[in-house]
């Protein structure tokens, strides 16, 4: 029995088993001694070494996970996030109250309950906050343990989010009016995905990137790389529609890439943003990272120049409207601040004739409803136009199915889970509602479509001051109508018919926007062909908006902006892409030939030398290369 447990015998048995399996391509033997007394050699194949190396890699990975184990920390949640919270309701809900112009009034769009009052940051305060991040950034990045700390920070943050999903969702819902389900999908899930994608792939993305180097064979002794180093302080001016994710996304990428991060949140979600930034700072502090690295600023529009034109910034991302983007770009240009702008979209879903025939109406109807009405339509990559191609009978059936479902929608507030709600409130009411109602009225008055349901604001019996808008369905929408050409950013489902797929794609491209879009077809090859012709920055085939969850670079073309954030390109975009070249070996390096040394002694010979070098390096024919090398040698001295 003792022999069974002899290490040498066990290894021999493993080796014999491998050879019995006839894995001949791994059968190169090595001589190893396991028993010094007997000096008995044994044959151990490279296969066994592979097993040992794999085992060691597994152990190292487990060790790394233990080192990166998330830490626990506690942040008290605000009282307003608790179920059945009773807060004062504003008679006229608005972030700006004329009797108190210095304060920002944050309130719940569903219930009009006051969440808190906050001072607008002054230009001096904004500069001081940015300076804090500027001072902290080099100290944090140059910490020899930063690589470990930043990974632990993300794991700690992820763990906190997972354990406090419901509480975090409530905070987002109080400030945005959306439903808990919408918050879970659009706030929590996408944030966890971003964290875990960066943990899995971020190090590979930011490690030095080997490049092919020169095409010139005479310079192949040079190695070329791109190094990715933090820019310094990066800023994101984020929109209000997803208060948790829009704040967390830039912080996750910015901290991981070694930058200081400034978040300029919307005044409309200042209350939740203050809490979310405290969560981030709590995680930073717990992981022994200077919490000054991340700062939140919020101010009235009149003071926004102190952010977008601040010379301390090294990069700026702006998410918002086109008119504001033009002004932001002008201010950023004064200090040559690199800028990425994402300006919304008018995303179209093109449903090819073959898809409806094969998949039926129910499947696509579910996708359209989720893509249109999630977060009450306040999605930059939500579905704003539905284009059905080729089959009028299926077109009519789809509209019928959509109307049937929309008529059953329940509107309200489910933050306290006192009722089943399909769609919540919108963050902006007032003038935005006036605009939507006027556009819908124009469609009816000009006979540009059929308004089958909805079309105006909804006065909720329990929350009369809430920002609710009826889910709306418009069929046969005229592509030239104002509602077909402008981003509605609301719960409006617009459906059009196209005679064929080609015309459907033409309708989809007939827009000033170019952010995202979707194609539904039963033929993958046809889907790829359609996607190539789709004039947008992002396309999903047989789905909607999942390109965002897939961590691809995100951004649009045309009126939807320029530049990308997210994915590999987004992470590297927060870095100085430093080009570095060096000798592959210290034995070979660059020296200046005497014939071209200054002062040049013989201009004709110098010319012959350089022109021969070009011929030797770049002539396409072998004869030309040989001739070039020969003349190069002739003129070398």
Task: Cite the active site residues.
Answer: 342
Q: Which helix (H) or strand (E) holds 586?
A: none
- For CA atoms 211, 216, 220, 221, the dihedral sign is negative
Contact 290, 140 (CB under 8 A): yes
Other CB atoms within a 10 A radius of the CB of residue 350 amount to 30
Give the span between the Cα atoms of 389 and 353, in whole angstroms: 5
Tokens 């590999």 found at: 568
Q: Which residues contact 155 (CB under 8 A, 6 or more apart)?
A: 68, 69, 70, 199
Can you state the angle between helices 524-533 and 501-509, rounded to 10 degrees? Answer: 30
- CA dist 200 → 152, 287, 567 (Å): 13, 19, 12
Give residue 70's region: left, alpha or beta (phi > 0; psi -120 to 50).
Answer: beta
From 248, 255, 282, select the one nearest 143 (Cα to Cα). 255
CA count, 13 A, side-chain hemisphere, 275: 24
From 462, 527, 472, 523, select the one nearest 494 (Cα to Cα). 472
Give the span between the Cα atoms of 33 and 41, in whole angstroms: 5
Torsions phi, psi for 397 (to 5 deg): -65, -40
Give the span between the Cα atoms of 563 and 553, in whole angstroms: 9
Token readout for 524 is 């993958």
From 264, 254, 310, 24, select the one nearest 140 (Cα to Cα). 254
**DSSP codes, 288-354:** T--GGGEEEE---GGGTHHHHT-TT-SEEEEES-HHHHHHHHHHHHHTT--EEEE-----EEEE-HH
Torsions phi, psi for 534 (to 5 deg): -75, 120
């Amino acid at each position: 029995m003792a022999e069974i447990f002899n290490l040498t015998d066990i290894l021999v048995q493993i080796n014999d088993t491998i050879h019995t399996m006839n894995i001949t391509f791994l059968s190169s033997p090595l001589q190893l001694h396991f028993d010094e007394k007997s000096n008995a050699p044994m044959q151990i194949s490279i296969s066994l070494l592979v097993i040992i190396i794999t085992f060691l890699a597994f152990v190292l990975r487990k060790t790394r996970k233990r080192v990166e184990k998330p830490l626990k920390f506690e942040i008290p949640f605000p009282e307003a996030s608790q179920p059945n919270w009773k807060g004062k309701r504003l008679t006229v809900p608005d972030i700006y109250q004329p009797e108190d112009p210095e304060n920002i009034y944050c309130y719940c769009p569903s219930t009009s309950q006051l969440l808190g009052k906050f001072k607008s940051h002054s230009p001096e305060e904004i500069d001081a906050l940015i300076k804090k991040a500027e001072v902290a950034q080099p100290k944090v990045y140059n910490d020899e343990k930063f690589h470990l700390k930043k990974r632990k920070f993300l794991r700690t943050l992820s763990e906190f989010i997972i354990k406090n999903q419901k509480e975090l969702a409530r905070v987002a819902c109080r400030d945005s009016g959306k439903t808990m389900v919408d918050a879970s999908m659009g706030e929590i899930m996408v944030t966890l995905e971003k964290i875990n994608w960066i943990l899995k792939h971020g190090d590979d993305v930011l490690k030095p990137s080997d490049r092919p180097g020169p095409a010139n064979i005479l310079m192949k002794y040079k190695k070329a790389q791109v190094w990715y180093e933090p820019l310094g302080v990066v800023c994101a001016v984020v929109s209000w529609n997803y208060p948790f994710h829009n704040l967390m996304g830039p912080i996750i990428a910015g901290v991981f890439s070694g930058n200081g991060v400034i978040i300029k949140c919307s005044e409309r979600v200042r209350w939740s943003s203050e809490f979310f930034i405290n969560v981030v700072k709590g995680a930073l502090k717990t992981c022994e990272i200077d919490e000054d690295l991340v700062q939140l600023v919020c101010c009235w529009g009149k003071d926004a120049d102190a952010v977008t034109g601040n010379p301390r910034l090294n990069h700026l991302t702006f998410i918002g409207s086109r008119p504001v983007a033009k002004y932001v770009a002008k201010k950023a240009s004064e200090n040559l601040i690199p800028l990425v702008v994402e300006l919304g979209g008018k995303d179209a879903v093109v449903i090819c004739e073959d898809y409806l025939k094969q998949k039926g109406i129910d499947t696509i109807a579910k996708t359209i409803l989720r893509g249109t009405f999630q977060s009450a339509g306040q999605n930059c990559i939500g579905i704003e136009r539905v284009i059905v191609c080729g089959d009028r009978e299926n077109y009519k059936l789809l509209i019928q199915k959509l109307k049937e479902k929309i008529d059953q929608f329940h509107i309200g507030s489910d933050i306290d889970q006192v009722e089943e709600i399909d769609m919540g409130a919108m963050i902006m009411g007032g003038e935005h509602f006036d605009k939507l109602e006027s556009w819908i009225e124009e469609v009816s008055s000009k006979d540009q479509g059929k308004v089958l349901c909805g079309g105006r604001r909804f006065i909720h019996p329990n929350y009369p001051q809430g920002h609710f808008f009826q889910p709306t369905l418009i069929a046969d929408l005229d592509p030239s109508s104002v509602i077909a050409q402008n981003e509605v950013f609301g719960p409006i489902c617009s459906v059009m018919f196209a005679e064929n797929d080609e015309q459907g794609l033409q309708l989809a491209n007939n827009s000033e926007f170019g952010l995202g879009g979707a194609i539904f077809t039963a033929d993958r090859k046809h889907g790829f062909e359609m996607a190539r012709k789709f004039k947008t920055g992002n396309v999903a085939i047989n789905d909607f908006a999942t390109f965002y969850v897939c961590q691809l670079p995100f951004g649009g073309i045309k009126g939807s902006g320029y530049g990308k954030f997210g994915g590999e390109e987004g992470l590297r975009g927060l870095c100085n892409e430093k080009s570095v070249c060096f000798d592959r070996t210290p034995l070979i390096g660059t020296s200046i030939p005497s014939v071209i040394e200054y002062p040049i002694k013989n201009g004709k010979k110098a010319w012959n030398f350089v022109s021969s070098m070009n011929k030797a390096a770049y002539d396409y024919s072998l004869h030309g290369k040989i001739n070039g090398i020969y003349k190069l040698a002739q003129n070398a001295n």
